[in-house]
Structure 1
Amino acid sequence: HQGVHPRLGVVDVVPFVPLVGSTMFEATQARDEFAEWAVTTLGVPCFLYGTEKSLPDIRRQAWSSLIPDRGGPDGHSTAGAICVGARGLLVAYNVWMSGDTSAEAAHALARQVRGDGIRTLALNVGNRWQISMNLIDPLRIGPDIAFDRIAQLVPFMQADIDHCELVGLLSEAALKKISSERWDELGLGVETTIEYRRSHGYHF
């Protein structure tokens, strides 16, 4: 398994997210049931995240001060381990930088944008830098705010923005908080919402 994103296994993260008609309690139950299945059926140990601990906590401490919550203390010989979580909706969002952006500038951007409601990494993918972000409270800090924080910093660094990328979907409520005039710039649209996909026959 090769890649630039931090990972603990071939299947790195399996999140259970309550949507309309379900609760966090049910998501936590589903998380625990999946972890038991993964250990029993596949022999892959699982770290659990949610109210007890966060995914970044696990990434920092796994295999040192933290062992899997389900399964043995060692990873599977070929599959590693799985992080299984119960959490609310978040938005995974990437801002790709121009080809002449330096590593120093990309890491500085990630550090300065990281903080309240935004988790960031600077990743080099195909000789291009991206600021990879998880927006953990997208109704408060959405893609527009995250983008603007980066855009305000790039004039002072050896960097420029190339394009943006939504990874997965966002809620209709999060999209509606952003002016429709900015959707193209931010790589968003009605078709990128969970509600649109559900209404067009996609099942979650």
Structure 2
Amino acid sequence: MPDDPIVECVPNVSEGRDRAVIAALAASIRTVPSVRLLHVDPGHDAHRTVFTFAGPPEAVADGAIALGHAVAAHVDMRRQHGAHPRVGALDVCPFVPVRGVSLARCAALARRVGATLAHDLDVPVFMYEAAAFDPSRRALPLLRRGEYEGLSGKLADPAFVPDFGPARPHPRLGAAIIGARPFLIAWNLSLDTADVSVARAIAAQVRESGRVTLDADGRPVRQPGRLRAVRAVGWGMPAYGHAQVSLNVLDFRVTPLHVAYRAVAEQAAVVGARVIGSELIGLVPLEALREAGRASIGAAAGTLPDAALVDAAIEALGLGAVTAFDPSTRVLEWALQGQGAAPHRAVDR
């Protein structure tokens, strides 16, 4: 029904290269009735796949549990290395309210999933953002610090006793981070250079947390970055032949996409680089692209339909220049109206 509650789940799994494994993981989500797998986005260099599925709250939680069991059957962190930071096989699994659902309910779903997977798989589980039990452990970067290789030391620290499961890493699965949050836009901007240090320098200038410098007395001082509600890192993408500034836009109403794009482009110009295109990971809310389209078109945008605004946003943000971008399957509201990801989507890149 049009007004039924809908929750989105966007798990990030530490496998982006084995097509058969990615297809098996996607199939596990499809086994849950009333859950719709909307998109599967594997990344070879990141060695990571982002799955996006949605449906009734409890069914979506069941889909995450089914995926967790499939991940345990197919992914081995002892052999996994990629550009993206990770702490485990089911690295992060957020629940996002879409319609008729509160963030608090999503947090309750996340805690059910965390408790279940910790019990079933004997894996340590941390809760984050709105699902965190400890307010000091809400932030994902804090929980992921040290990555899979540093888990033994982290779990030995009383400050990082897991919320569920054993206080020791699972040898194959590492740990899992599960939570609830508002919509986040994962977005990579590609540069006309393969120099990762350039991408990292740009990321340090634009992310809200900024960078650490030394004052006149040699003491470390944090210099805030340009963009509020934005996290950023720089990394190399050998498969593409260039470096990227990878952004997490935590709230596109605080920092719209066109503002973030302009900031990255300006900082790139300072170091003699240029943004040549961008790619969105997973799905994006319609309003985020509407806003970018309006900014691109100007005063005349008020008379244009959504499709024209989205087309203008795609052009202005360089979407499709790096990988294909089909708005009918990548805009959340439009994807929910369609049939979801076709079975072969898991192996496309």
Asked if these proteins are the same fold (TM beyond 0.5), I'd say yes
Q: Which amino acid aligns with 2:201?
A: A
- Counterpart CA distance in 1 for 2:275 and 2:289 is 21
- With over 3 angstroms needed to count, the CA separation of the structure-2 counterparts of 1:198 and 1:27, relative to structure 1, is same
- Counterpart CA distance in 2 for 1:139 and 1:190 is 20
TM-score calculated relative to the size of structure 1: 0.91
Q: Compare 28-37 and 127-136 and name the one that shifted more.
A: 127-136
Q: CA deviation at 1:101?
A: 4.5
- Counterpart CA distance in 1 for 2:338 and 2:229 is 31
Q: Which residue in the other structure is 1:56 paired with?
A: 141
Q: Compare 16-25 and 180-189 and name the one that shifted more.
A: 180-189
Q: Which residue in the other structure is 1:131 paired with?
A: 245
Q: Which residue in the other structure is 1:122 paired with?
A: 234
Q: Which amino acid aligns with 2:81?
A: Q
Q: Which residue in the other structure is 2:220 paired with?
A: none
Note if contact 2:107-2:179 (Cα within 8 Å) is conserved in structure 1: yes
Q: Trace 1:1-204 onto structure 2 (pairs within 5 A).
A: 1-51=80-130, 52=135, 53-60=138-145, 63=154, 64=157, 65-98=159-192, 100-115=193-208, 116-126=228-238, 128-179=242-293, 180=309, 181-186=312-317, 187=319, 190-191=327-328, 192-202=330-340
* Number of aligned residues: 202
Note if contact 2:195-2:236 (Cα within 8 Å) is conserved in structure 1: no
- Counterpart CA distance in 2 for 1:9 and 1:59 is 9
Q: CA deviation at 1:189?
A: 6.7
Show structure 2 runs of 5+ residues with no match: 1-79, 209-227, 294-308, 320-324, 342-349
Show structure 1 runs of 5+ residues with no match: none
- Counterpart CA distance in 2 for 1:201 and 1:39 is 32
TM-score calculated relative to the size of structure 2: 0.55
RMSD: 1.9
Note if contact 2:285-2:332 (Cα within 8 Å) is conserved in structure 1: yes
SS of 1:138's equivalent? coil
Q: How high is the sequence identity, in percent, across the aligned residues? A: 27
Q: CA deviation at 1:45?
A: 1.2
Which has a greater percent of helix?
Answer: 2
- Counterpart CA distance in 1 for 2:247 and 2:269 is 20
- With over 3 angstroms needed to count, the CA separation of the structure-2 counterparts of 1:101 and 1:157, relative to structure 1, is farther
Name which one, 1 or 2, has greater alpha-carbon Rg: 2
After TM superposition, the runs of 4+ consecutive aligned structure 1 residues lying more than 3 A away are none
